[in-house]
C-alpha cells in the first residue's frame, strides 16, 4: 500500500475521524488536514460532507450487517442460529466498539436510509428466521412469539452494553478487560434467555 489514491486517502481520514468524534464534531478541515489534501478536493471527489459520510457508511454496512443478515438466512436450527448470530455480532462489536454510537446517530438523522440499507422490511416479513419461528410454533415445538419482538430482544441484549460502554468504563472496578469478559459471558447468556422464552 505504498501509493494510495487521493480518494482512498480522504476516505481513510474521514473514517478515522467520524468513528473517533462523530459526524457533527468532525470538521471538513480536519479531514483535509488528516488526509493531507486541500479542503476543496474533498468536495471534488465526494459532493459534500454528508455524501462522504454515506460513502463510508455504505462500505461499513456491506461488511457489518451483510455478514449478520446472512446468518439469519442460514438453514440451521433456531438455537444454533441465535448462538451464531450473537457470538458473531459480539465479536464484531468488540473489535469495533464505536460503531453502535456511530450507527445510532445516523439512524436518527436518516432512519429511512438505514432501514432500506439493512433490508429490515424483508427480514421481518420473508426472512428465514421469521419463517422458522412461525413454522416451529405452528408445529407446537416452541411457543408463539412475534418475530419483531424476538429480533428486538436479540439485538437489544447484544448491542446495548456497547452503547453504554463509556458509562460502564468510568466505574471504579470496570476496565476494558472486564468489559470484554462481560461480553463473553453474554454470548452464552443471551441465547439461553431467548430460548428460555420460547421453549415449551
Partner DNA sequence: GTCTATACGGCGATAGAC
Partner DNA sequence: GTCTATCGCCGTATAGAC
Q: Where do contacts with DNA occur on this chain (CB under 7 A)?
A: 6, 26-29, 37-44, 47-50
Residues with Cβ within 8 Å of residue 115, at least 6 apart in sequence: 121
With binding defined as CB under 8 A, does residue 171 bind its own copies? Answer: yes
What is residue 127's DSSP assignment?
-
Q: Which stretch binds its own copies (CB under 8 A): 28-36, 59-67, 115-123, 128-136?
A: 115-123
Instruction: Say how far apart CA 139 and CA 166 lie, in whole Å.
Output: 44
Instruction: Count CA atoms within 13 Å of residue 176 on its CB side.
Output: 3
Alpha helices in the chain (DSSP H): 6-21, 28-35, 39-45, 49-73, 78-95, 99-109, 111-118, 120-126, 128-138, 147-163, 165-168, 176-198
Single out the residue of 107, 138, 176, 180 in contact with its own copies (rule: CB under 8 A): 107
With binding defined as CB under 8 A, does residue 122 bind its own copies? Answer: no
What does 59 interact with, of DNA, its own copies, none (CB < 5 to 8 A by kind)? none
In the window 31-90, what residues touch its own copies (CB under 8 A)?
A: none
Residue numbers at the binding site for its own copies (CB under 8 A): 22, 24, 101, 104-105, 107-109, 111-112, 114-115, 120-121, 124, 146, 148-149, 152-153, 155-157, 159-161, 163-164, 166-167, 169-172, 182, 185-186, 189, 192-193, 196-197
Amino acid at each position: 500500500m505504498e501509493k494510495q489514491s487521493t480518494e482512498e486517502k480522504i476516505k481513510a481520514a474521514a473514517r478515522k475521524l467520524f468513528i473517533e468524534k462523530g459526524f457533527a464534531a468532525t470538521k471538513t478541515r480536519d479531514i483535509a488536514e488528516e488526509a493531507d489534501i486541500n479542503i476543496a478536493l474533498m468536495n471534488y471527489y465526494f459532493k459534500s460532507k454528508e455524501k462522504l459520510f454515506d460513502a463510508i457508511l455504505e462500505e461499513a454496512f456491506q461488511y457489518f450487517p451483510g455478514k449478520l443478515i446472512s446468518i439469519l438466512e442460514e438453514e440451521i436450527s433456531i438455537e444454533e442460529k441465535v448462538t451464531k448470530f450473537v457470538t458473531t455480532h459480539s465479536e464484531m462489536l468488540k473489535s469495533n466498539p464505536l460503531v453502535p454510537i456511530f450507527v445510532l446517530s445516523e439512524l436518527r438523522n436518516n432512519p429511512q436510509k438505514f432501514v432500506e440499507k439493512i433490508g429490515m422490511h424483508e427480514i421481518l416479513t420473508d426472512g428465514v428466521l421469521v419463517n422458522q419461528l412461525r413454522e416451529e410454533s405452528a408445529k407446537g415445538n416452541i411457543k408463539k412469539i412475534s418475530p419483531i419482538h424476538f429480533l428486538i430482544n436479540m439485538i437489544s441484549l447484544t448491542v446495548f452494553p456497547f452503547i453504554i460502554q463509556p458509562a460502564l468504563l468510568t466505574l471504579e472496578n470496570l476496565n476494558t478487560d472486564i468489559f470484554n469478559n462481560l461480553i463473553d459471558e453474554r454470548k452464552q447468556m443471551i441465547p439461553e434467555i431467548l430460548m428460555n422464552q420460547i421453549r415449551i
